[in-house]
Structure 1
Amino acid sequence: MTASGGDTQHGIRRRNLARVLQAVAAEGPLSRAGAAARIGVTRAGVAPLVDELLRAGLLVETGRAAPSGRGRPGSELAVSDRGPAGIGAEIGVDHLAVCAVDLRGRVRARAATDAANRHSAPGPVLQELSALLAGVAARIAAEGLYPAGLTVAVPGLVARGTATVVHAPNLGWREVDLAPALATALTPPPVPAPADSPGAPGGSGASIPLGVENEANLGALAELRLGGGPDGLAPPPDFVHVSAEIGIGAAVVVDGQLLRGARGFAGELGHVPVYPDGLPCDCGGRGCLEQYAGEEAVLRAGGLTSARAAAEHPGPGARGALLARRAAAGDSATVNALADAGTALGIALAGTVNLLDPRAVVLGGALTRLAPWVLPSLERELTLRTTVATTPDRPGRPAVEVSRLGADGPLLGAAHTALRAVLDDPIDACAPPHSPHVRFR
């Protein structure tokens, strides 16, 4: 939780406001008594908190609640479908995407476009992204929503505590600060505040927090928050999330928190050497995992090309779509290439598993589509190379799961991360922006 204020009365109130809002968002609709029980205070203690959240337009009353003992039944509380929205954006190698989610976690607007971003100058890419952001902001404004935060997913290293992409090799970017280019991207037209909705845009002096994050990290956060597993449940609190397109990224989650590393660069699985004397890599090393399990590497091993993938499957995900289609048709070269990719991925992950002992490995991104042909060899390598002894209640290697979020994980993770700032500290959301500018979170 990011709410500040220490143990002062003001700080305690901020934390309790966040706890009420989070409880209703996660479990609502709730009565006042139910909200009080969830956060461990009396009904009298929760009443002023609920009233403040109602005045801010973050909660609404939906109708009569069922009686819960003595006294008259109250009204049920739910989070509003108006007010603040989290904005997520994704810069991919072959696409740009933006989405907005409301306090109920629903996607309220989305826009995407094909974009040949590989080795493109940052300026035109960010200009196109700004246009998508402005369009989404205009659409949600018409529904009484306003941007409360923006998080951008990028396929590269992001300096911890900054908006600077230090190195995104598959984009060809180095030391690119995204904040100046996105400073005016989210300035929606003014929306008059309805008399019965104090939380609608109409305030002043606020600004929109900006976050920039590695796409694999945001994919992992989406797994945590949205229950990305095949059973609809969130993964255990200790897992490794792996996503692959042209590059391969990973995120390590320990006790429900991202393991970022000293500089914020943890998770560069794609540049772990699996064959030390192998193929040269753009990073300057040799035998990196990306050269054997990245989509272009698998296309090459299967006798295919990115150009053919784009011709047969226009739009984002063309390489994965071509590989999946050919593998499903039984093309032996493609099936063998995917099996070899799984072997390389298993070798790389074995070191991670032995070092960190996660409970699960979650495959996301393009790997979800290719999992039927990648998993057998990947799991075989993990079984052979992990050192933890097998016991009746725990196998020798972690479970390998396939995310149900697929390629949407990073974008959804970005939007929900932006929204999280409101859930963690609703006071800042009580004065929504009229003409916001972007500030770095």
Structure 2
Amino acid sequence: MSAPPRTTHPGATGARLPDTQQGMRRRNLARVMHTVAAHGPLSRASVASRIGLTRAAVSTLVDELVRSELLEELGPERPGRVGRPGSALAVSARGPVGIGAEVGVDRLSVCAVDLRGDVRARAQRQVGNRGRAPGPVLTDLASLIREITQDAEREGLRPAGLAVAVPGLVARDSQTVVRAPNLDWHHTDIGPLLASDLPLTVDNEANFGALAELWLGDGAPDDFLHVSAEIGIGAALVVDGMLLRGSRGFAGELGHVPVRPDGPRCACGGRGCLERYAGEEAVLRAAGLPPGPDRVSLLVERAIAGDEGVLGALRDAGTAMGIALTGAVNLLDPRTIVLGGALSRLAPWLLPCLEGELGQRIAGPGCAVAVSRLGAEGPLLGAAHAVVRAVLDDPAGVA
């Protein structure tokens, strides 16, 4: 079983429920769900002790959650406890699942994650999406979503919602991709084109990658700057366990920070952007290697073999990333930088120059750099877990 989503506090990802009797009941249902998800299996008495409600109140809430297939009873608690054993409660392996999807430059991916955090179904299609109109891309994605939804339903699971990660700017509280330079999409409303019956959330892939790191990462702090580096390079800042989106939802466009203002033209319209020096295609180009279906594996293979062209390109990429990140660290003061995305596999060769630039340029006492174990999986898992978190935050909404 996968680790359950990391808990900040109930309601951290959703709207605050009203201060009414009904709102209080919904908040208490969420408190029970989060407690069992983070610490279960637990008896009703243990849940009551942890959240400060009476056993009778918790029992009523638990009965409702069991009927809705959000919790399940596993039988008597383990032996050795004093007194009459209670029935152990766990988050259900049936019931709702979160559907996550990702539109990449060269692939489409979809997965279903249950309330325990386990991936129950997954599909991926390698396809070149750069330059394709949004309609055909989203038609292909909808086909994969239907496939995964049907796989989940055959296991007795029901989709609770859909979250889609895209490599571009997404207007806050909307489903509109304002601009995705590496796809050449502009002002694209995902909802009508995807035509899904599920509740839909659309967000930047770096944001979902950062949320995955927060919920699933190995001891990630509550304050960190997550860098999602593949063909494009995005970033997301987490402060006190909350994602900082910016006033319009456009925060984190690290890949379009200029590191050499007189450098080559970028797809965004600027010059000398970080992506032109540290994105996958830029590193391949600098190393004299052709693009291919598994670019990062090729770079890793050549780097291990000591290919000087590849090693030089990775050193230059690390230097460029260090320069761009210096500005972010000096401005935002994150506790840690987490390197994610596909390029996290190249960390052994990127980090020496990246950390060297940070060490020379940061005005403060320094900033730790860590490598995500989620890698390229982060955005897709973050999208699916965002739906799961919404269920934990308001279980009454899916009952």
Same fold by TM-score greater than 0.5: yes
Measure, in 2, the Cα distance between the counterparts of 1:353 and 1:365. Answer: 19
1:3–1:424 contact (8 Å) kept in structure 2: no
Q: What's the offset of the Cα at 1:80?
A: 1.1
- Which of 361, 379, 382 is 2:355 aligned to? 379
Q: Which position in structure 1 is the counterpart of 2:237? A: 252
> Do residues 211 (structure 1) and 201 (structure 2) align?
yes
- In structure 1, the residue matched to 2:109 is 97
The letter of the residue matching 2:295 is R
- Alignment match, 1:412: 381
State the Cα distance separating 1:4 from its structure 2 match.
4.9
Indicate conservation of the 8 Å contact 2:229/2:344, yes or no.
no
Checking the alignment, whether the CA contact within 8 Å between 1:18 and 1:424 is kept in structure 2 is yes
* Cα contact 1:4–1:14 (8 A) shared by 2: no
Q: Identify which range, 277-286 or 109-118, moves more after superposition.
A: 277-286
Q: Per the alignment, in what secondary structure is the counterpart of residue 258 of structure 2?
A: coil
User: What is the distance in 2 between the residues matched to 1:386 and 1:250?
Assistant: 18
- Do residues 22 (structure 1) and 34 (structure 2) align? yes
Q: Report the counterpart of residue 74 of structure 2 in structure 1.
A: 62
Work out whether residues 3 and 11 of structure 1, in 8 Å CA contact, stay in contact via their aligned partners in 2. no
Matched, 1:122 2:146: no
Deviation of the 1:305 alpha carbon: 2.2
Cα displacement string for residues 333-374 of structure 1 (whole angstroms, at most 9, x for unaligned residues): 110000000000000000100111111000001121111110
Once residues 191 and 267 of structure 2 are traced to their aligned partners in structure 1, the CA distance between those partners, rounded to angstroms, is 27
- Aligned: 1:272 with 2:257: yes
Q: Relative CO higher for 1 or 2, CA cutoff 8 Å, sep ≥ 6?
A: 1
State the shift of 1:68 in Å. 5.3
Distance 1:100 1:53 in 2: 21
User: Which residue of 369, 388, 405 corresponds with 2:345?
Assistant: 369
Q: TM-score, normalised by structure 2?
A: 0.94
Q: How many Å separate the matches in 2 of 1:428 and 1:254? A: 28
Out of 279, 289, 301, the position equivalent to 1:325 is: 301
- Aligned partners of 1:6 and 1:177: how far apart in 2? 30
> Could you say which residue in structure 2 is the equivalent of 1:391?
none
**Partner SS for 2:249:** coil
Q: Pick one of 114, 133, 137 that aligns with 2:145.
A: 133
The answer as to whether partners of 1:3 and 1:14 remain within 8 angstroms in 2 is: no
1:201 alignment counterpart? none
**CA distance in structure 2 between the aligned counterparts of 1:331 and 1:279, rounded to whole angstroms:** 25
CA contact (8 A) 2:91 2:115 kept: yes
Q: Take 1:284 and 1:6, find their aligned partners in 2: how far apart are those partners? A: 45
Q: Give the deviation of 1:275 after TM superposition.
A: 1.1
The DSSP-based 3-state class of the residue aligned with 2:191 is coil
Partner letter of residue 128 of structure 1? Answer: D
Q: Which secondary structure does the structure 2 equivalent of 1:180 belong to? A: helix
Give CA-to-partner distance per residue, 1:281-331, whole Å, 9 cap, x none: 12221111111111111111111221xxx2xxx4xxx22121111111100
Whichever residue aligns with residue 202 of structure 2, its letter is V
Is 1:226 the counterpart of 2:216? The answer is: yes
Paired with 1:276 and 1:94, the residues of 2 have a C-alpha distance of 28
AA aligned opposite 2:201: G
Counting aligned pairs with the same residue, the percent is 66
Greater displacement, 33-42 / 258-267? 33-42
Q: Answer yes or no: is the 8 Å Cα contact 2:280–2:343 preserved in 1.
A: no
How far residue 410 of structure 1 moved from its aligned partner, in angstroms, is: 0.4
- Which amino acid in the other structure matches residue 81 of structure 1? A
Q: What's 2:180 paired with?
A: 168
Please state whether the residue corresponding to 2:37 is helix, strand or coil.
Answer: helix
Distance, in Å, in 2 between the alignment partners of 1:172 and 1:64 is 57
Query: 1:397 Cα deviation (Å)?
Result: 1.4
Structure 1 SS opposite 2:388: helix
Pair 1:399 & 2:371 matched = no
Q: Deviations over 1:27-77 (max 9, x none)?
A: 11100111112212121221111111111111111010257555x322000
Superposed CA deviations along residues 109-133 of structure 1, whole A, max 9, x for unmatched, are 0000101101111111111101100
Determine which of 236, 260, 270 is the counterpart of 1:285.
270
Secondary structure (helix, strand or coil) at the match of 1:179 reads: helix
Whether 2:172 is the aligned partner of 1:157: answer no
* Count of residues paired in the alignment: 386
- Quote the residue 2:290 is aligned against: 305
Partner Cα distance (2:141, 2:270) in 1: 32
Provide the aligned C-alpha RMSD in A: 1.2
What is the distance in 1 between the residues matched to 2:232 and 2:85?
A: 56
Aligned equivalents of 1:144 and 1:3: distance in 2? 29
Moved more, 106-115 or 6-15: 6-15
1:38 aligned to 50, 65, 83, which one? 50
- SS in structure 1 at match of 2:380: helix
How many Å apart are 1:209 and its aligned residue? 1.4
Task: State how far apart, in whole Å, the 2-side matches of 1:150 and 1:114 are.
Answer: 21
**Range that drifts further, 261-270 or 6-15:** 6-15
Poorly superposed stretches of 4+, deviation over 6 Å: none
Aligned equivalents of 1:415, 1:223: Cα separation in 2: 13
How far apart, CA to CA, are the structure 2 residues paired with 1:39 and 1:99?
Answer: 32
Structure 1: which 5+ residue stretches go unaligned? 187-207, 389-395, 431-441
